[in-house]
């Protein structure tokens, strides 16, 4: 059993208790995980179990080349992350872990496995360069910590809340607080260590093709969500009534792979959603590029804060419902309101745009409870005008709509919300004149949507755009502190726009790309975020009084005393 004279005590229930706050060393673990990287799947990834629900990756090689790591270690934020690390040598090691035998330029992994409701295990996985040097570091700086030899690995309890296990290839660091907030028992920790150090290759996450693909794409950071494992580990998904609809084959090889890169003036992201063959066959059947650029070009207002275009086939939903054996219930529900799935699938051809325009702050004299005003607009291309007419008649019959020619109003509202059917488009807007402007071809000569976004509208099944400047500046700043107001003003000017586009199948996955654009195009995006966070911390520290800090320190001591039991 792992023992430490000062770090852990054990209750009768054999549970670990920490002598400091439960997450006192979580900052230590996170920072260490940001110190290693590479551009291929390294050997130490084989120590990650195949059944993990989530794996995160940090590529320090890339971050170092972009001068991001030096910006992090030289910041006040880095000192804040170190404040609960008691050992000075450990603080130094957090800047360059090669000094303690770990590999400075190899990929860092952190993973979580378990279920959502009880206990889950978290772990940071680092490449080992010199196990002897690491063990000397442990012996010198944690003399009260006992190192145990388990044959295939060694282990020791280091600072409060952190257990290390290692061999000549890898170092594993287990926080003793579970991912669901509870405490891990010694049995839980030992079981996780034994599993990791005795994995066969086919039992490791590196046996998953899609995981390996993500790792070889050389992103600055990446995240892997294993939906198949989530299904298998969570009873609410795989047992009881859910079994009738949630079949194991629907989750076979299903996963979400996300890669993030920090560039000058932008944060770029790529996402690949891997569906099971059962579901991807249906998606492939109906996925097609949208033809919605003309819809966006004809928007009645050029002042666009939000835009989404989509090529949506109702037939795809019908097949998905049938696959999950929910089509019968859907038909019964639709029949109850006077329509059918057939009418829905025939009505529209799938091309649509939704926009929020003219966004602005609400004036003090306005009685609205919402701080922002905007106009809503939607346009959909029709496939079968008769089917669309049937849907609208159903709305009138059920007293949801009031008809006046081709115009429809909400029966229970005094607003100007208007729906117009001209047999080619179905349009709806909170401003009635906007529907008429769209259908007549009258439009603003200039749109705020960047040309790069407009180019994606006809090249992907969906496109999403947000004017960050307009959205952020439409909300009031509620502070009287001049420093806080200055910081918030700076934050409001930091971003220009965000966009996402995709939906095509690429290498067996539903592929999506996105970008968050910054006003400053000459500096790396993550460095800009770090500098902004440092300014925020300085303002926060300035507001703390000595009395407040003293009281906080006393509370921490009280928590430590209440949770510690003499060895």
pLDDT band at 7 (very low <50, low <70, confident <90, very high): very low
Structure tokens at 476: 């009031």
pLDDT band at 535 (very low <50, low <70, confident <90, very high): confident
Q: What's the whole-number mean pLDDT along residues 394-416?
A: 90
d(CA 30, CA 518): 26
Percent of the chain with pLDDT over 70: 76
pLDDT band at 181 (very low <50, low <70, confident <90, very high): low
Residue closest to 527 by CA, chosen among 44, 29, 72: 72
Q: What is the per-residue pLDDT for 86?
A: 52
Q: What is the per-residue pLDDT for 381?
A: 93
Q: Which residue has the higher pLDDT, 543 or 293?
A: 293
pLDDT digits (tens, 9 = 90+) for 142-169: 888 889 999 999 999 887 778 999 999 9
Location of structure tokens 């996300």: 258
Q: What's the whole-number mean pLDDT along residues 22-33?
A: 48
Structure tokens at 176: 């003793």
d(CA 377, CA 420): 11
Q: What is the per-residue pLDDT for 89?
A: 53
Q: What is the per-residue pLDDT for 21?
A: 41
Distances (CA, A) of 520 to 266, 316, 327, 473, 491: 9, 42, 51, 18, 12
pLDDT digits (tens, 9 = 90+) for 411-436: 888 789 999 999 999 999 999 999 99
Given a cut of 60, whether residue 457 has pLDDT beyond it is: yes
Q: Which residue has the higher pLDDT, 188 or 186?
A: 188
pLDDT digits (tens, 9 = 90+) for 247-261: 777 888 899 999 999
d(CA 479, CA 558): 34
Q: What is the per-residue pLDDT for 431?
A: 94
Given a cut of 50, whether residue 8 has pLDDT beyond it is: no
Q: Please name the residue ranges forming H helices in 267-326.
A: 277-286, 293-297, 314-323
Location of structure tokens 């260490």: 32
pTM of the predicted model, to two decimals?
0.80
Q: What is the per-residue pLDDT for 15?
A: 37
Q: What's the whole-number mean pLDDT along residues 354-364?
A: 87
DSSP state of 477: P
Of the listed ranges 29-33, 123-127, 527-531, the least confidently predicted one is: 29-33
Q: What is the per-residue pLDDT for 566?
A: 37
Location of structure tokens 């673990």: 29
What is the chain's mean pLDDT, rounded? 80
Q: 314-323 vs 277-286: helix axis angle to the nearest 10?
A: 160
């Amino acid at each position: 059993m792992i023992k430490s004279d000062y770090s852990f005590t054990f209750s009768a229930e054999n549970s670990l208790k920490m002598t400091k706050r439960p997450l006192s060393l979580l900052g230590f673990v996170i920072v260490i995980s940001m110190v290693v990287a590479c551009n291929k799947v390294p050997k130490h990834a084989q120590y990650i179990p195949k059944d993990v629900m989530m794996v995160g990756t940090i590529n320090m090689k890339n971050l170092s080349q972009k001068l991001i790591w030096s910006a992090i270690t030289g910041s006040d934020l880095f000192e804040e992350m170190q404040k609960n690390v008691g050992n000075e040598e450990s603080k130094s090691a957090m800047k360059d872990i090669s000094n303690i035998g770990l590999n400075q330029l190899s990929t860092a992994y952190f993973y979580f496995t378990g279920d959502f409701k009880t206990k889950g295990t978290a772990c940071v996985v680092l490449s080992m360069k010199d196990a002897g040097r690491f063990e000397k570091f442990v012996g010198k700086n944690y003399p009260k910590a006992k190192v145990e030899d388990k044959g295939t690995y060694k282990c020791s309890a280091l600072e409060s809340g952190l257990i290390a296990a290692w061999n000549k290839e890898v170092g594993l660091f287990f926080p003793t607080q579970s991912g669901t907030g509870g405490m891990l028992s010694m049995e839980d920790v030992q079981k996780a260590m034994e599993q990791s150090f005795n994995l066969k290759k086919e039992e490791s996450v590196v046996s998953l093709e899609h995981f390996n693909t993500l790792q070889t794409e050389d992103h600055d950071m990446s995240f892997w969500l294993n939906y198949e494992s989530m299904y298998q580990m969570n009873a609410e998904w795989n047992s009881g009534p859910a079994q009738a609809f949630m079949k194991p084959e629907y989750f076979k090889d299903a996963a979400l792979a996300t890669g993030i890169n920090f560039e000058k003036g932008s944060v770029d992201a790529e996402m690949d959603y891997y569906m099971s063959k059962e579901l991807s066959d249906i998606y492939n059947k109906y996925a097609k590029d949208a033809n919605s650029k003309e819809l966006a070009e004809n928007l009645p207002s050029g002042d666009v804060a939000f835009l989404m275009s989509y090529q949506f086939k109702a037939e795809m939903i019908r097949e998905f419902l049938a696959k999950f054996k929910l089509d019968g219930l859907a038909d019964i529900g639709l029949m109850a309101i006077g329509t059918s799935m057939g009418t829905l699938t025939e009505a529209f051809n799938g091309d649509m745009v939704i926009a929020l325009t003219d966004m602005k702050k609400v004036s003090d004299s306005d009685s609205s409870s919402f701080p922002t005003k905007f106009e809503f607009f939607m346009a959909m291309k029709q496939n079968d005008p008769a089917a669309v007419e049937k849907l609208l008649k159903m709305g009138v019959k059920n007293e949801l709509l009031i008809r006046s020619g081709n115009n429809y109003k909400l029966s229970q509202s005094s607003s100007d919300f208007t729906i117009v059917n001209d047999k080619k488009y179905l349009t709806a807007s909170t401003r009635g004149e906007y529907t008429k402007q769209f259908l007549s071809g009258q439009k603003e000569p200039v749109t705020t949507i960047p040309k790069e976004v407009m180019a994606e509208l006809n090249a992907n099944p969906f496109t999403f755009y947000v004017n960050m400047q307009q959205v952020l500046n439409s909300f009031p700043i509620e502070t009287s502190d001049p420093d806080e107001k200055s910081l918030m003003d700076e934050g409001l000017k930091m971003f220009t726009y965000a966009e996402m586009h995709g939906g095509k199948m690429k290498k067996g996955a539903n592929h999506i790309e996105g970008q968050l654009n910054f006003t400053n195009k000459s500096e790396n995006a993550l460095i800009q975020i770090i500098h902004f966070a440092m300014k925020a911390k300085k303002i926060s520290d300035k507001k703390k009084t000595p009395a407040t800090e003293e009281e906080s320190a006393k509370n921490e001591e009280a928590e430590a005393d209440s949770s510690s039991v003499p060895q």
